[in-house]
């Protein structure tokens, strides 16, 4: 809590300035509590906070309204199936949040929880059942999976029309080809782009650096930025001049999975920083014994950036909002094709 309060105080000045210049859609995403803080109380932070929690809430409301409108004619609500393998606490939390979000927007959720030692064949059988179920518009298998299971084989088995996580190779491949639209775009990178859009950030013509090259975040984020006409460089563990590349970027997406790796002096003054990382670091003063930090050293970067996402409360909530949006898209396509 103290950490969050500190963050909000540091960001008050930047947000006040940001709000004056921001489009209406951005204004509504900046927390009122932060804006009401007197400027004098703020530390010398420059960046405006991109409030992913609020933007995700707005998107959930938009989806709920659309579901209400559509389901009468369609005769059913959108359906999302969530498959959980094992008992990782973080995965259990995310799956619970996904089911709660489904209930909030009026989706029907289906769930299968499998033991840690389930066979790959059994998991593939569950996926096949959901592939065939007409009430299911989207299927996701919560990652990571236990080591004895071939993750890619499971992701490949999800029907392309129900791959709301967007992890199917054909969906990722289509992103890389001009003129080909993927059936679904994976949720976290899609959420990053939505944060930029709803914060009034122009992407076309800008330079962008993506730190991290994972199949599920770094690579699709770079492709989405490029498709939006940014000039993109990917930075990874073998990039010799990572800092230099990031320092040249107008937009930085950090998705390397290393706590606070991107330092403040890597950031070009005025750049927009989207931090995908969610890393737990020990903190005896925190209630849970740890606190969450991103892949960006937040306070340092916020002192030079023009806009930045916090962790928590930035990209994370958008992942689930985009999952709902993808499921709704799948539902609309399936209903239209009946
Ligand atoms: N099949 C999938 N598996 C995983 C995905 C995914 O998109 N599909 N992404 C991550 C986990 N994830 C969703 O599944 C996810 C991670 C974090 C958040 C989030 O909102 N985080 C909060 C902080 C939560 C906390 O306090 O612990 C935040 O950043 O504000 C949502 C979803 C890996 N697996």
For 115-145, give the DSSP string.
-TT--HHHHHHHHHHHHH-TT--EEEE-SSP
278 lines ligand 1 (CB under 6 A): yes
313 lines ligand 1 (CB under 6 A): yes
Residue pair 210/222 in contact (Cβ under 8 Å)? The answer is yes
187 lines ligand 1 (CB under 6 A): yes
For residues 310 and 296, give the distance between their C-alpha atoms in angstroms, rounded to a whole number: 9
- Torsion 228-333-95-129 (CA) sign: negative
At 74, give phi and psi (nearest 5°): -75, -20
Burial class (CB in 10 A: 0-12, 13-18, 19+), 214: middle
Task: Report the residue among 49, 51, 57, 278 best suited for mutation to probe ligand 1: largest number of ligand atoms under 8 A from its CB.
Answer: 278
Which strands sit side by side in the sheet containing 307-308, from one edge to the other? 48-49, 307-308, 272-275, 251-254, 207-211, 231-235
Q: What are the structural domains, with CATH classification, of the chain?
A: 77-165 (3.40.50.10860), 186-319 (3.40.50.720)
Residue-by-residue pLDDT tens, the chain, 338 positions: 343 344 444 444 334 434 433 433 333 343 433 333 333 334 446 789 999 999 999 999 999 999 999 999 999 999 999 999 999 999 999 999 999 999 999 999 999 999 999 999 999 999 999 999 999 999 999 999 999 999 999 999 999 999 999 999 999 999 999 999 999 999 999 999 999 999 999 999 999 999 999 999 999 999 999 999 999 999 999 999 999 999 999 999 999 999 999 999 999 999 999 999 999 999 999 999 999 999 999 999 999 999 999 999 999 999 999 999 999 999 999 999 98
Burial class (CB in 10 A: 0-12, 13-18, 19+), 64: middle
Q: What is the pLDDT of residue 46?
A: 79
CA angle 273, 163, 99 (to 5 degrees): 75
257 lines ligand 1 (CB under 6 A): no
Give me 201's structure tokens.
């950030």
Query: What's the CA-to-centroid distance between 319 and ligand 1, angstroms?
Result: 7
Whose CA is closest to atom 1 on ligand 1? 142
Give me 219's structure tokens.
């690579």
For residues 227 and 230, give the distance between their C-alpha atoms in angstroms, rounded to a whole number: 7
Q: What is the pLDDT of residue 45?
A: 65
Query: What's the CA-to-centroid distance between 91 and ligand 1, angstroms?
Result: 8
Ligand 1 atom closest to residue 141's alpha carbon, by position in its atom list = 1
Query: What's the CA-to-centroid distance between 203 and ligand 1, angstroms?
Result: 25
Ligand 1 atom closest to residue 144's alpha carbon, by position in its atom list = 34
Residue holding tokens 């709301």? 164
142 lines ligand 1 (CB under 6 A): yes
Query: What's the CA-to-centroid distance between 39 and ligand 1, angstroms?
Result: 33
211 lines ligand 1 (CB under 6 A): no
What global pTM score does this model have?
Answer: 0.88
């Amino acid at each position: 809590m103290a950490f969050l309060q500190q963050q909000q105080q540091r960001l008050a000045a930047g947000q006040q300035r940001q709000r004056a210049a921001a489009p209406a859609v951005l204004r509504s995403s900046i927390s009122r509590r932060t804006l009401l803080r007197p400027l004098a109380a703020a530390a010398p932070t420059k960046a405006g906070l991109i409030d992913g929690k609020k933007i995700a809430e707005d998107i959930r409301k938009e989806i709920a309204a659309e579901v209400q409108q559509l389901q009468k004619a369609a005769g059913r609500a959108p359906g999302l199936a969530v498959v959980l393998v094992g008992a990782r606490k973080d995965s259990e939390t995310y799956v619970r949040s996904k089911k709660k979000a489904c209930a909030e927007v009026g989706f029907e959720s289906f769930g299968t929880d499998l033991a840690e030692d389930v066979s790959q064949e059994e998991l593939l059988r569950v996926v096949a059942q959901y592939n065939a179920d007409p009430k299911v518009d989207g299927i996701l298998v919560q990652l990571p999976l236990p080591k004895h299971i071939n993750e890619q084989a499971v992701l490949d088995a999800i029907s392309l029309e129900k791959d709301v996580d967007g992890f199917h190779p054909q969906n990722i491949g289509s992103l890389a080809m001009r003129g080909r639209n993927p059936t679904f775009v994976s949720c976290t990178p899609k959420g990053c782009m939505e944060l930029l859009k709803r914060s009034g950030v122009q992407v076309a013509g800008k330079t962008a650096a993506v730190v991290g090259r994972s199949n599920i975040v770094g690579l699709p984020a770079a492709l989405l930025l490029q498709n939006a006409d940014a000039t993109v460089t990917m930075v990874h563990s073998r990039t010799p001049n990572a800092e230099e590349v990031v320092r040249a970027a107008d937009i930085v997406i950090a998705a390397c999975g290393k706590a606070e790796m991107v330092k403040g002096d890597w950031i070009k003054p005025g750049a927009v920083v989207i931090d995908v990382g969610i890393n737990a670091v020990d903190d005896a003063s925190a209630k849970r014994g740890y606190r969450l930090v991103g892949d960006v050293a937040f306070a340092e970067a916020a002192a030079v950036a023009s806009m930045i996402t916090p962790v928590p409360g930035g990209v994370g909530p958008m992942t689930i909002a985009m999952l709902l949006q993808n499921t709704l898209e799948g539902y609309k396509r399936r209903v239209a094709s009946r």
